[in-house]
Structure 1
Amino acid sequence: MRPVLEVLGFLALAQGGLGLLHEWVHWDVGLVQRLGFLDGYEIYASVALVVLGIALFARAGSREEN
């Protein structure tokens, strides 16, 4: 389960970071700006993805392997 959490954490962190990068320097990267229902809320969604990625990494780090 730990590798799954790490992969999901990486994907969430990467997409959140790319969404913020898109807002700051207007590069055409990331998935957040491509989702139409998030129009006007791209920064909030990107920050939420970064926080989710950090939380997933923290949860993966706290899991004990059997």
Structure 2
Amino acid sequence: MLRWLLIIVLTLLVFSGLLRPWLARLGLGRLPGDFEFRIGERRIWLPLATTVLLSFVAMLIGKLV
């Protein structure tokens, strides 16, 4: 269980920092389950719904292959 929690947190961090501009161009990152917090000048972005959607798509691709 701890292993999966660590994987989810690391995935959210990667989406938050590296893939956000690319996902925004595709229209992802603005789903109802994606959260954005502002603490001072810092923006924290938690793409929960986008992560679930992309995981589902990856699972479907894995089942087809």
TM-score by length of 1: 0.34
Q: Higher helix proportion, which one? A: 1
Higher strand share: 2
Larger relative contact order (C-alpha < 8 A, sep ≥ 6)?
A: 1
Question: Normalising by the residue count of structure 2, what TM-score does the alignment of the two structures yield?
Answer: 0.34
